[in-house]
């Protein structure tokens, strides 16, 4: 057994353990209720909503690499665009799981849909959670169709074990895709349409997620700059995630020839660029708080600079804005270890950024001045680790059955 095969088995074993742990915690939550989480009367949103915002942000990497860069005629995206699309599908499923569980009684999730009923009880379309449901479901359906549509030219390379999906793929090859000139003409035209539609989705979905916060009256949330701040953060975390996965694939698999140094360096430059854009919005947020002299916003800034949030703040600033500066050096920018270090740091830093966006604001009571203490429970941590494990396992299983590097483009 080679060294890389051994490492791969270790990672998969740990991932399956995380999945089992997360699944057990989810069942425990359904039985016991949300009291198994670290929530209290003030902090009604905990790590689960942090995970929701984080994972839905990561999903933007697929749409950006596949749709936006396709329309911009960036040919270097070819080896990684299906990797990014696969990541999008998995991360949307993960992100939707957390608010579903956070409902408390998730078996009534269909109440959020405007279905005909005898009581004429329809969801409140002025509620941000209804917007989330519409946005996430639309995003998943469009991204899934885009992913399936991109696989059509590579149907002959799809390997499925069960009989029913194999028959479906066989019928697709017989009736829809035979590789003719007409097929390719219709494919290119339709791919353009899909890419154009999904380009708007990149901006709209995370903008709608930000409305969960900006439609409230809580300080630092009630801001018109929050939607674009969310979109920039989502793209930043998505690019870091795709860089991390690309380095892992090129190092621990046979895709090293397709995912070249040039491709990874392009993504590294984008990660560095978005670190500056996000830093600009971060400085702008602090500046507005001091410039306006808003008493409540200044309290939030002070809370983030006080223990224990100050430690997380320092860690976040180092991970998000200091370590990416290694990409300024040409000799370091192309090294896989540096790319792995920086991209992993950005991923962790973006999770901390979402944590510091939500928890300090909710923990502060602006009437009494009391600050409630929030501490995640074992169930919270298990669900978070379960999401990470599910991503690794799902990506591995899909990559075994679907050509993760497009064959028709090489």
Give the structural domain span for 374: 3-109+124-403
Mean pLDDT (whole number) for 187-201: 85
Q: What is the pLDDT of residue 171?
A: 66
Is position 362 within any domain?
Answer: yes
pLDDT band, very low/low/confident/very high, at 164 (cuts 50, 70, 90): low
Q: Is 10 helix (H, G, I), strand (E, B) or coil?
A: helix
Q: What is the Cβ-side half-sphere exposure of residue 82, based on CA atoms within 13 angstroms?
A: 23
Is position 211 within any domain?
Answer: yes
Contact partners, residue 102, CB within 8 Å, separation at least 6? 34, 45, 48, 49, 52
Is position 408 within any domain?
Answer: no
- Examine the pLDDT at 240 and tell me if it is beyond 70: yes
Element (H, E) at 100: helix 81-102
In percent, the amount of the chain with pLDDT more than 70 equals: 93
Total domain count for the chain? 1
Is position 203 within any domain?
Answer: yes
Is position 75 within any domain?
Answer: yes
pLDDT band, very low/low/confident/very high, at 258 (cuts 50, 70, 90): confident
- Examine the pLDDT at 162 and tell me if it is beyond 70: no
Is position 114 within any domain?
Answer: no
Q: What is the pLDDT of residue 409?
A: 66
Q: What is the DSSP letter of 283?
A: H
The enclosing domain of 372 has a CATH number of 1.20.1630.10
| Per-range mean pLDDT, top range of 39-53, 120-134, 183-197, 313-327 | 313-327
**pLDDT per residue as tens digits for the range 323-358:** 999 998 888 888 888 999 999 999 999 999 999 988
Is position 119 within any domain?
Answer: no
Q: What is the pLDDT of residue 390?
A: 95
**pLDDT per residue as tens digits for the range 81-92:** 888 888 989 999
Tokens 């909710």 belong to: 362
pLDDT band, very low/low/confident/very high, at 1 (cuts 50, 70, 90): low
The closest of 197, 183, 231, 184 to 71, measured between CA atoms, is: 197
Q: What is the pLDDT of residue 167?
A: 67
Mean pLDDT over each residue of the chain, to the nearest integer: 84
Give pTM, 2 decimals: 0.90
Tokens of 38: 């670290």
Q: What is the DSSP letter of 21?
A: H
Indicate the range of 110-119, 376-385, 390-399 predicted with least confidence: 110-119
Mean pLDDT (whole number) for 106-128: 78
Q: What is the DSSP letter of 364?
A: B
Is position 117 within any domain?
Answer: no
């Amino acid at each position: 057994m080679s060294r890389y095969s051994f490492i791969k088995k270790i990672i998969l074993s740990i991932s399956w353990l995380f999945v089992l742990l997360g699944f057990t915690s989810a069942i425990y939550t359904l039985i016991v209720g949300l009291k198994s989480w670290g929530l209290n009367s003030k902090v009604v949103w905990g790590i689960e909503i942090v995970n929701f915002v984080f994972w839905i942000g990561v999903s933007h990497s697929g749409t950006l690499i596949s749709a936006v860069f396709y329309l911009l005629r960036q040919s270097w995206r070819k080896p990684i665009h299906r990797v990014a699309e696969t990541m999008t599908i998995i991360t949307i499923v993960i992100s939707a799981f957390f608010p579903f569980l956070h409902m408390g009684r998730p078996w009534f999730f269909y109440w959020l849909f405007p279905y005909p009923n005898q009581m004429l009880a329809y969801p409140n379309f002025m509620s941000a959670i209804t917007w989330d449901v519409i946005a996430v479901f639309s995003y998943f359906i469009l991204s899934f169709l885009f992913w399936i549509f991109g696989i059509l030219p590579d149907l002959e390379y799809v390997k499925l074990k069960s009989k029913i999906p194999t028959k479906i793929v066989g019928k697709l090859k017989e009736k829809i895709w035979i590789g003719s000139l007409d097929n390719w003409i219709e494919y290119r035209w339709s791919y353009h349409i899909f890419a154009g539609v999904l380009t708007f989705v990149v901006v709209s979905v995370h903008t709608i997620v930000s409305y969960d916060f900006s439609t409230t009256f809580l300080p630092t949330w009630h801001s018109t700059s929050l939607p674009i701040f969310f979109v920039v953060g989502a793209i930043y975390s998505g690019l870091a995630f795709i860089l991390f996965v690309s380095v892992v694939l090129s190092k621990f698999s046979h895709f090293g020839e397709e995912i070249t140094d040039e491709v990874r360096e392009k993504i590294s430059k984008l990660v560095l660029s978005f670190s500056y854009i996000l830093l600009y919005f971060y400085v702008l947020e602090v500046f507005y708080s001091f410039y306006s002299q808003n008493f409540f916003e200044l309290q939030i800034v002070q809370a983030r600079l006080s223990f224990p949030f100050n430690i997380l703040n320092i860690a976040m600033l180092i991970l998000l804005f200091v370590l990416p500066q290694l990409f300024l050096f040409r000799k370091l920018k192309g090294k896989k270890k540096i790319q792995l270090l920086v991209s992993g740091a950005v991923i962790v830093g973006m999770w901390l950024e979402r944590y510091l966006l939500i928890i300090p604001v909710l923990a502060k009571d602006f009437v009494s001045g009391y600050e409630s203490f929030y501490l995640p429970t074992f169930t919270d941590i298990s669900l978070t680790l379960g999401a990470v494990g599910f991503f690794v396992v799902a990506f591995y299983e899909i990559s075994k059955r679907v050509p993760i590097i497009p064959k028709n483009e090489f």
